[in-house]
Chains A and B, each alone.
Chain A
Amino acid sequence: MQMIRFFRSSSPFRPSPFQMALSYLILGFWTFVVLFPIYWLVVTSFKLPSQVTQGPRYIPFVDFQPSLHAWQYIFVDVRNDTFRPYANTVIVGLVSSALALIIGASSAYALVRFRYRPKLGLVGIFIALVALCVVAIAINIPWQLAVPIAVALFIIAIPTLGPRMKRSLSNSDIAFWMISQRILPPVAVIIPVYVLYQQIGNTTGFKLLDTRLGLIIVYIAANLPIVVWLLRDYFQSIPIELEECAQIDGASPLRIFWSIVLPLSVPGLVATFLFILVFAWNEYLFALFLSSSQAQTMPLTVAAQNATRGPQWWYMSVLILIMIAPVILMAIVLERYIAKGLLVGAVKG
């Protein structure tokens, strides 16, 4: 033990004074690179318009007299325009991340502990039927007719054709399929979703465009691959013995998952939740396509500052600051979880 300690402290991780000075210099420089834009944001939010347009002023109380006018404008004068998107972002972010975490965690667990053997042929038939449905609807066969027929055909195919098929997929195939959904460019997915939402709204009157629900559904789908990817490896690292004991004691799979596996995985769950929450919080493209006024989220509000009367840096700075404050706080508190949670996925991914 003593030997190891001795070697560790004299390992290359312990630099000489010169190397230490150089390291601090470089690290200090990057700290400046990271913090200066954020500092500039904070400073700008306390400036009067004239103090911005007359050229750069760097230090409050020295270079210029700080003013709260921009904060007052955002929080008092246009508070409805601020709070509604903010509430949208909070609700859409939290709800979609929580649901994605629950759905994704349960399927990640299932892929680790149960064996699934879907027949390759049935998957092919399913995709063919979906394609046929799309074509049928395209040539003006009403969807009320096409979809039930396709569903019926598929249900007939399961018991009749299913047992004759030899080749089946394994759990890792399913996991690969789920995780690879992240490769799809969102722009390829969002156009049909937009059309679908619009059609649902037109035919049934159930509004999904420009609603929080519409965004939540899309964000769940977008974040599921990340959840499955990160948590599958996490669940694999949990010893199986505990679960076997519980099973002998007669616990159902659902109960084992809920009261043994999930409590043991809290660090992984926290890292994953934070990661997908940041994605949902900052998401821009889906919100751009699917929301216009009612369900507008903060990234859109911030981006929209551009269009009206040129860039008004002071208001923008306030908006960006109140938007990034919660996630930055979480990042500072949960820094350790993030690195560990991500590493597990990246090693095996």
Chain B
Amino acid sequence: MTATAKSNIPSSSSLSGVHRGHASLSDRVARSLFIWPAVVILLFFSIFPLIVSLWLSFSRIKFVRGGVEIIHVGWANYRKILLGSEQPRLLGVIGQPSLAGWILFALIVAALIYMMVHYVRNERVTPIGFGLRLALNIFLAALAWLAVSTISPNGRPGALIVTFLYVFVGIALQYLIGLGLALLTAQQLPGRRFFRVVFLLPMMITPVGVAFMFRMLTDTVVGPFSPVWKAIGLGGTSWVNNPWGARAAVIIGDVWQWTPFMFIILLAAIEAQQVEPIEAAIVDGANRWQIFRYITLPAILPVSSALVLIRMIEGFKIIDLPNVLTNGGPGTATESLTLSAFVFWRTLDIGGSAAIAYILLIIVTIISVAFVNLVRRRFSEVA
């Protein structure tokens, strides 16, 4: 597929093949007309809000008669979130990690150290590359420590860790289910068009609607599965009153909604594979697993990494599902960072809201830039 597509793409040298040379005034005006509307809109809605947001995050805003009064408060908003009164809500309550937590943390640190060693040994080491990787690994290790120490018997995870849980557990499940369904649907089964259309549907449904649906479905009294809950002795208890039950409900809703996105693009990628290598493999007597492992998987890795990146970027923005499905509760157990920022804004703490938004922005940027540079580039080279 890529081969046929690429032959049509003009090489970068012929980028301006059309409309080069005699650039008359009308041509130059036309060129500007093509690109300026988009540039202006994006400037207004990215550069400007980013600068204002940064500045708001260092201020306190009071709504007074006939306008707003803005007081510069320095780092107070960030201090409140990271160290002060709102720390339990955003970062969580730090407890003594359980044995499993320690093991998990040790494994993560070991993996990070292994990556560093691998990099120093096998790649050209530059001071900047080394420094950035070291900083990233320390950041990831700190996050891992925060995760295991707040998800512990006497700790309580805050919005930051809960958001990471939504993103990573959600994406892992979506990818695995989506890949499995795509592989099954790619077979020459009668009626596969039906499955393709049906599996696409959840993606179209508004997340608010999904949230209500799953509230109905997880209701242990009037929901459709209440006989099941009664049978196993859980009738009358509510998922939504248990912190982990509520978080699971949010993740299930998210997986239900976004598995189609993974499914449909992975299916298209699998169907766009070249047939010849698979034929050759069959002639050589390869079994299904070998064909998947050595032919299909490498062929879909670039698409997969793009999918994970897209879902990661979108996943960090999650607000509708926790807000409607569980109202952020019980307490603030299911709050995501975006939802926290909204709650702060609703209570007119606009500075605090902007500070949370900025923390989220920094985290998303670090994670996506690291992902693009460390994971995606490698997969694209392989293909």
Q: Which residues of A contact B (CB under 8 A)?
A: 4, 7-15, 19-20, 23-24, 26-27, 30-31, 33-38, 40-41, 44, 52-56, 58, 103-104, 106-107, 109-116, 127, 130-131, 134-135, 138, 171, 174, 177-178, 181-193, 195-196, 198, 202, 217-218, 220-222, 224-225, 228, 236-240, 243-244, 247, 252-254, 256-257, 278, 281-282, 284-285, 288-289, 298-299, 302-303, 305-306, 311, 313, 316, 320, 323-324, 327-328, 330-332, 335, 338-340, 342-344, 346-347, 349
Contacts and interface: CB of A to CB of B under 8 A. Distances in A.
Contacts of B42: 177-178, 181, 221, 224-225
B107 interface: no
B206 A298 contact: yes
Given A134-B52, A225-B42, 17 more contacts: A15-B188, A23-B189, A27-B189, A41-B213, A103-B38, A113-B18, A113-B19, A188-B358, A195-B350, A238-B8, A239-B8, A253-B19, A253-B27, A284-B320, A324-B205, A338-B264, A349-B309
Given A191-B354, A243-B18, A55 B221 contact: yes
B34 A106 contact: yes
Interface string B190-228: 000001111111111111111011111100011111110
Nearest to A332: B197
Given A134-B51, A299-B206, A328 B217 contact: no
Contacts of A288: 342
Given A103-B38, A115-B15, A185-B316, A37 B213 contact: yes
B18 A256 contact: yes
B187 A107 contact: no
A340 B268 contact: yes
A330 B42 CA distance: 29
A328 B56 CA distance: 40
A192 B34 contact: no
Given A55-B226, A256-B18, A342 B364 contact: no
B345 interface: yes
A26 B184 contact: yes
Main SS of chain B's interface residues?
A: helix
A12 B282 contact: yes
Contact of B9 (A54, A236, A331): A236
B31 A58 contact: no
Given A114-B31, A183-B313, A221 B198 contact: no
Nearest to A114: B31
Given A23-B184, A328-B204, A56 B223 contact: yes
Given A12-B278, A299-B206, A342 B268 contact: yes
Interface stretch (B151-159, B166-174, B300-308): B300-308
Contacts of A192: 48-49, 52-53, 56
Contacts of B68: 195, 198
B189 A221 contact: no
A256 B226 CA distance: 62
B291 to A, nearest CB: 6
B95 to A, nearest CB: 28
A110 B18 CA distance: 11
B353 A185 contact: no
